[in-house]
Structure 1
Amino acid sequence: MARWHESWLPGSPVDPDTPAADGHPGAKFGLPREGVGATVGFGRRLGGVAIDWIIAYALALFFSGLDALGSSTLGWTVWLIWFALTALPTAIFGMTPGMVALGMRVARVDMAPLVGLPRALLRTLLLGIVVPAIIRDDDGRGWHDRATRTIVIRSR
């Protein structure tokens, strides 16, 4: 498998099942150690999700009114808005508003240009459960990324 961002360069392909020579996160996928295309750390990813949740809360309160603050349905309304705000942009653009703000995006490890709706829906559902996102591998990928064969990388 060629590197997703340098597939036009000559050289031996990188096999994702073999450990990287230098061992930095994302090396087995052919990603650089730092800069654009490098894997994103947990703090930045958490910040992106937090921004998306804040936007979802603001939209829920905008549509439901401030009276919804005491409502038992506000949590589900926020979750559904967050789900749509995350799944659809990830499927089409590979980024949510929070990811755009912090300079990151979701990429498929099989080098396809789009994440696609099925992967984005599954990824967002697992991310909404939270536990899969906390348990991460050596490349910083949570269970939601491993299940959908995606990785979060820097876009700037």
Structure 2
Amino acid sequence: MSFSMDQVLGQVLRNAVWERLDMLTELAQRADAPSLVSVARSELPRLAEGWRAMLQAHEPDERGDCPTCSTRWHRCKAPCSVWQVAHEHLVAGGLAPHALSHGQPTTGPGTRRGLVPGQTRRAERPTPAETTGRHALVTPRPVTA
């Protein structure tokens, strides 16, 4: 089986993004307070700008369709899944500390609330996107705790 250069570069890009997110999650869980402040000052504006850029691409057109998610044959009405995930994580997800105070984990292994597809990646069970179609290039590296 041969892979195009675009497929290989796409997989490298996806792996780099997953690794960056894993690193930020680990920092949030294990870093001391001064390190957290430093990371927050540098990373929060970058993450906010990333969300803004992605959401701008999914702004509804004059018909109320998402131009990015829509195809010639299927129109995707707003709010598309990108806006729904954004709302869940940026607005509704703001309630997460309340759930923690009641002893209910909001993220982590075995929980689905607040996670996007593929976020609970495991080498032994890759997501369908990692095993089919254009994404089936390399088995993702296991996430270590």
TM-score of the alignment, normalized to the shorter chain, above 0.5: no
Higher strand share goes to which structure?
1
Q: Normalising by structure 2, report the TM-score.
A: 0.32
Structure ranking higher on relative contact order (CA contacts 8 Å, 6+ apart)? 1
